[in-house]
Chains A and B, each alone.
Chain A
Amino acid sequence: AQKITQTQPGMFVQEKEAVTLDCTYDTSDQSYGLFWYKQPSSGEMIFLIYQGSYDEQNATEGRYSLNFQKARKSANLVISASQLGDSAMYFCAMRDRNYGQNFVFGPGTRLSVLP
């Protein structure tokens, strides 16, 4: 069965510093997609970044980058130059053909940015 693990329930980072949020996954499918979403206290799910299993380069979107290590089945999110508005829950998610293309979400990491 598909599984997403996020081992950090909570993380603190100083404003303007970089932070890495961990995500490991498990799938038997060779074709899959990895996603990161941000959920602020309002509850909306904000798409941040996507990495395909066949993508050779790590994905980047502005201050967000994904450290994709396929052999280790990890897809860590790196946020550079943290801002106070980055404080939120962050969910790692995966989609593959084994689960009918539906999302499987990790348990989430709560990031708190300190001034």
Chain B
Amino acid sequence: GAVVSQHPSRVICKSGTSVKIECRSLDFQATTMFWYRQFPKQSLMLMATSNEGSKATYEQGVEKDKFLINHASLTLSTLTVTSAHPEDSSFYICSAREDDARMTSTDTQYFGPGTRLTVL
């Protein structure tokens, strides 16, 4: 089956630094990728939709200048948390939709294993 990887799996950084998280589709092309954030004991919340070759679409309440998304190729999307603060500590999960999947509600997305960010 389709595989999505994320790197790093875990990162600890000091407050004020920037952190980049990579999301790769390993055996399929993904024009569309999604970034989610999950706080402890809570559900996944969609942050933004990443589109290859165009600007990301951010959900309401998500600061686009703080969470920079770049989707430079059909297999790679990156999320950069700029000037990270302790409140940005969370589990970040990406998912990718296969390009040749039918564009209906029936296709599934493939999730990466997640990145746990801790900001000290």
Contacts and interface: CB of A to CB of B under 8 A. Distances in A.
A31 B104 contact: yes
A64 interface: no
Interface of B: 34, 38, 42-46, 49, 91, 93, 95, 103-106, 108-111, 113-114, 116
Interface stretch (A41-49, A69-77, A79-87): A41-49
Given A32-B105, A43-B93, A103-B109, 14 more contacts: A29-B105, A31-B105, A43-B38, A44-B113, A44-B114, A45-B95, A50-B106, A53-B105, A100-B49, A101-B103, A103-B46, A105-B43, A106-B43, A107-B43
Nearest to A91: B43
Contacts of A50: 106, 108
15 contacts: A29-B105, A32-B105, A42-B113, A43-B116, A45-B93, A45-B95, A45-B111, A53-B105, A91-B44, A96-B105, A101-B104, A102-B46, A103-B95, A106-B43, A108-B43
Which 6 pairs across A and B sit closest by C-beta, in order of nearness? A45-B111, A33-B105, A43-B114, A105-B43, A95-B105, A44-B113
Contacts of A97: 105
Interface of A: 29, 31-33, 35, 37, 42-45, 47, 50, 52-53, 91, 95-97, 100-103, 105-108
B91 A43 contact: yes
